Structure 1
Amino acid sequence: MDVLESGKMATKTLLSNKLRSALTMLGIVIGNASVIAMVGIGQGAQRFVAEQFESLGTNVLFVIPGNRDAQRTTVDLPKTLVLEDAKAIATQVPTVAKVAPQLQSRELVTYRNKNTYSSVVGTTPEYTAVRNFNPEEGRFFTQLDVKRNNQVVALGSDLAKRLFINQDPIGKYVRIKDVRFLVIGVMESKGSVLGTNYDDSALLPITTMASRIVGENSPYGVSLTFISISAKSDASVEAAQFQIQNLLRLRHKITREDDFSVQSQKDVLEIAGTVTSALTVMLAAIAGISLLVGGIGVMNIMLVSVTERTQEIGLRKALGATQHDVLIQFLIEAVMLSAAGGIVGTALGVGGILLISAFTPFQAGISPVAIALAVSISGGIGVVFGVVPARRAAQLDPIVALRSA
């Protein structure tokens, strides 16, 4: 008997037991759909993280106080960066385009009877260029505002809506830590970036922030939370990083371990990419377990089928079917169940990815490699887990099979 004839018989047998065949396929369907969806979600997470970093601004470097050990183990970082460091970087590093020192704290912001705790950021006018964050209404503060310690503020869009509801905030006054500030601008909506909601922030001149909100808490000047820097081009990021490190080592008279770290956007993105890739692999591996369970289900049902079809097997062998013919028929049945489950699972996985892309921020990707791998594995599962029941069917003695019937 040729393979084509065996295939026809296998198809007829599976269609005659539709419910059992469907339940057998279910494990393979769930496994394939899970693997494809998890890989798609992982790729979507990688794209989302990359877009989040790109939204921070182009060619961005971050100078953070404290060495790497302190950054990993300490909530309150040491105050090793001051405003003069930022000014030195801006004037002495040739590969740097803009420098935006930042001094941050969380304070009570009040307008009339409305109170809310928000992130308050003291910075300079360069902040808008470095962080790609511009006012949608009104204006941002100027160097003159910084020089004069003017009590002006630009509000994030969410904070402005929460405080003023349907009113125009421009020209009105809010109180930050009992200090009165004139609202001069409302920033464009930027959303959350890596857990920080930029729309829920109040931006002040850094000199006003230091003198009226947090105070100068360093003997060397205005201490900073960190410094954001934009390099002149993509090609100059590494050079800028090297030059900033050397300048700050000279300024801080460092002979051993640095009391700061300079991280490029690319460095942080690579770390985030490594984490999301590892999570993708882990999710795919967990989802892959369901494929294994589905394969065991296929073997279990095929063994039951062999037991139920003992008379049929005995009759076929009595009429001249060889062990090879019986083996091929049962293997084809197992492969057909697995392959059909793989196709249905693939359709469900792709559909799930499209739904996730439509209703969440994650632009989940459809991975042809994941689809090919999942379908190949599901087909292979049919072969691997179909071998045992197929061999058992092929080795049945026709006389014993007919007697047992």
Structure 2
Amino acid sequence: MDTVESIRMAVKTLTANKLRSSLTMLGMIIGNASVIAVIGIGQGAQRLAAEQFEALGPNVLFVVPGTRQARNRTFEIPKTLVLADAEAIAAQVPSVKGVAPQLQSQLTITYRGRNITNLVVGTTPQFLPVRSFDVARGRFITNLDIERNNQVVILGPDLATSLFRGANPIGQTIRIKNVAFNVIGVMRPKGAFLGSNQDDVAYVPISTMANRVVGRTSPYGLELTFISVSAQNPESIGAAVFQISNLLRQRHKITNEDDFAVDTQKDILSIVGTITGALTLMLAAIAGISLLVGGIGIMNIMLVSVTERTQEIGLRKAIGASQQDILVQFMIEAVILSAAGGLIGTLIGSGGVLLVAAITPLKATIAPVAVALAVGVSGGIGLFFGVVPARQAAQLDPIVALRSN
């Protein structure tokens, strides 16, 4: 019997039991759809993270207090960076273009009975060029505001909307931790960064933040949450990391372990990529289990089919069909079930990826490798699990098969 005839008979047999065939394919459909969707969404998350880092500015570095290991051991931010460190970096590191120290905390902001707990950032005028932010209305912090400890605040656009409900916030007075602040500006929308809404933030002079809001807790000066630094150009990032590290080691009199870390965008993006890649791989592996379950389902149904079609197999052998013919037919049926399930699952998974890309910020895309892998694996699983029932059918004795009821 030729292959075309075997395929025709296999399709006819499967379509005669539509419900059973559909339920058998269900495991393959779910498995393929899950694998394609998980990989597509995972890659979209990595692309979104990369775009958000690029939006920070092309040459931004972050000097953070404590080593990464120390920060992992405690929930408290180490107080090892002070404002004098930021001033020294700006004055003594030639590969640095701008320095923006930041002291930030989650605080209660009040306006006419509306209480909102939001991130409040104490910073300097250099924040705008270093972090690539812009003011939409009003003005930003000036050096005079810092010298005089002025109680002025600039609001992110989302925070301004939450507090003022569409009214003009410029010139209004709000309270931050029961300290009155005059609103002098509203920032231009910036978007989210690694799940944090940068448009829902209040900015105040760093001196006012330290002296009148959160207080000074470091004996070495005005402590900082971290320091944002912009290098002169992409080629000078490595030199900036080296020079900043050497300067801070000298200032902090470090002889053993650093009490700070200098992270580049590439470093942070690598960490984020590792985390999202690991999660994507884990979820894809979990989704792949359903492919295995689907293969077992195919084997079970094919074994039942062999039992039900014993007389048919015996009759075909009696009129000249060889073991090879019977083996090929049942193998083809198993492959058709798994391949059809894989195709339907691919369409559903691809549709899910496109839907996620359309309604969320994730740049999810259909990964050709994931599609090829899912369809190939599903076909291979169908072939693998179809061997046992196909061999059982091929080895039936025709006389015994014809006598069975």
User: Could you state the TM-score of these two structures normalised by the residue count of structure 2?
Assistant: 0.96
Q: Are the equivalent residues in 1 in contact too, given 2:216–2:222 (CA < 8 A)?
A: yes
Q: Report the Cα offset of residue 185 of structure 1.
A: 0.5
Q: Are the equivalent residues in 1 in contact too, given 2:86–2:99 (CA < 8 A)?
A: yes
Cα distance in 1 for partners of 2:160, 2:386 equals 65
Counterpart secondary structure, 2:140 = coil
Q: Are the equivalent residues in 2 in contact too, given 1:151–1:181 (CA < 8 A)?
A: yes
Asked if 1:332 corresponds to 2:326, the answer is: no
Map 1:62-73 → 2, pairs under 5 A:
62-73=62-73
Q: Are the equivalent residues in 2 in contact too, given 1:33–1:349 (CA < 8 A)?
A: yes
In structure 2, the residue matched to 1:343 is: 343
Q: Report the Cα offset of residue 217 of structure 1.
A: 2.9
Map 1:4-403 → 2, pairs under 5 A:
4-403=4-403
Q: Report the Cα offset of residue 9 of structure 1.
A: 1.3
Q: Are the equivalent residues in 1 in contact too, given 2:100–2:123 (CA < 8 A)?
A: yes
Cα distance in 2 for partners of 1:24, 1:327 equals 20
Cα distance in 2 for partners of 1:13, 1:291 equals 23
User: Could you state the TM-score of these two structures normalised by the residue count of structure 1?
Assistant: 0.96
Q: Report the Cα offset of residue 104 of structure 1.
A: 1.2
Counterpart secondary structure, 2:46 = helix
- Consecutive unaligned residues in structure 1, runs of 5 or more: none
| Amino acid paired to 1:363 | K
| Amino acid paired to 2:115 | N
Counterpart secondary structure, 1:77 = coil
Q: Deviations over 1:119-177 (max 9, x none)?
A: 22110111112222221221212223223322211011222112211210011122223
Cα distance in 1 for partners of 2:296, 2:178 equals 68
| Amino acid paired to 2:324 | H
| Amino acid paired to 1:43 | Q
Q: Report the Cα offset of residue 225 of structure 1.
A: 1.1
Q: Are the equivalent residues in 2 in contact too, given 1:35–1:287 (CA < 8 A)?
A: yes
Cα distance in 1 for partners of 2:69, 2:5 equals 69
Identity %: 67
Q: Are the equivalent residues in 2 in contact too, given 1:82–1:221 (CA < 8 A)?
A: yes
Cα distance in 2 for partners of 1:201, 1:34 equals 37
Counterpart secondary structure, 2:383 = helix
Cα distance in 2 for partners of 1:350, 1:38 equals 10
Q: Are the equivalent residues in 1 in contact too, given 2:299–2:388 (CA < 8 A)?
A: yes
**Hey, which bits of structure 1, 4+ residues long, moved more than 3 A?**
none
Q: Are the equivalent residues in 1 in contact too, given 2:81–2:223 (CA < 8 A)?
A: yes
Q: Are the equivalent residues in 1 in contact too, given 2:71–2:78 (CA < 8 A)?
A: no
Q: Report the Cα offset of residue 112 of structure 1.
A: 2.7
Please provide the CA RMSD for this pair: 1.4
Counterpart secondary structure, 1:104 = strand
Q: Are the equivalent residues in 2 in contact too, given 1:42–1:280 (CA < 8 A)?
A: yes
- Consecutive unaligned residues in structure 2, runs of 5 or more: none
Q: Report the Cα offset of residue 198 of structure 1.
A: 2.2
Cα distance in 1 for partners of 2:359, 2:22 equals 30
Q: Report the Cα offset of residue 389 of structure 1.
A: 0.7
Q: Are the equivalent residues in 2 in contact too, given 1:109–1:176 (CA < 8 A)?
A: yes
Q: Which moved further from structure 2: 177-186 or 284-293?
A: 177-186
Q: Are the equivalent residues in 2 in contact too, given 1:58–1:130 (CA < 8 A)?
A: no
Q: Report the Cα offset of residue 218 of structure 1.
A: 2.7
Q: Which moved further from structure 2: 381-390 or 43-52?
A: 43-52
Q: Report the Cα offset of residue 226 of structure 1.
A: 0.8
